Structure 1
Amino acid sequence: EGERARVRREMIGNVFQDPQLLEELTVRENVELPSRFRGVRGDEARRRAERALAGVGVLQLADRWIPELSGGEAQRVALARALSTGGRLLLADEPTASLDRVMASQVADVLMEAASRENVALMIATHDPAVAERCGHVVDLAMRAG
């Protein structure tokens, strides 16, 4: 079980429908968490967080508190946190479900661009056809009557 946990911790990033950010921490501190859990300290954890935040276009929010963010901003911060570990697989569970159409499109763009730029495999679970049509390969798991 220890090896599986290590692989999950080091190789897989997760983005959820609800960003799952800690309100008592700043944006930067939230993004630093995965690195700190892996033993990365000080300036290196900060550098990784800032690189990830810049990569998803929200570095300017680094010192803000989570309750001050819009839904789209919070989802971008969650994506930065998932990418900050340097893992090779990003699992995104309904990452645009709680956003309006315009913000969902922007977050989907950022998600796809960041995964491509970081050379990360991306697996998305979505009910949004606009998100699904952007994917290179789609598996439809919808239950069908019959």
Structure 2
Amino acid sequence: MAVESELRRGRTNVRSNVRKAPGPCEHWNDDSADFIREILDLVGDKWSVLIIGTLADGSVRYSDLADAIPGISQRMLTLTLKQLQRSGLVDRTAYAEVPPRVEYSLTALGSSLLATVLELAAWSADRHVEIRRHQHAYDTREA
């Protein structure tokens, strides 16, 4: 019973336990840690990464964004674009035309993130075979 209590107490105080671990986390206060986690959740999301990558070459219409990102639902595209706008990474421009036209583009802040996103994508592509080999080996051992 004492072991279970200790484990439960450790899980409820995760943030302070993380800051006690050696490494960069020990230097962040609670506000910084919360903010960093929020931003990493946003920019590390698969849809955000794909949207940012798709906007690399300039403004893109909403419908073209939807076509360029296989598997994304209209709802998820809209929600992710709103989150990226809210954080200042993406601009939305609506044109008073018939039919209405809306385009999205990266802001300067979003463009500063682009290099990191492209590096992550390149890292993934360069290590595709190695990662698949490890996944297959793991899955075979677990089966």
Larger Rg: 2
Q: TM-score range by the shorter chain?
A: under 0.3
TM, length-normalised to structure 2:
0.28
Indicate the structure whose relative CO is greater, using CA pairs within 8 Å and at least 6 residues apart.
1
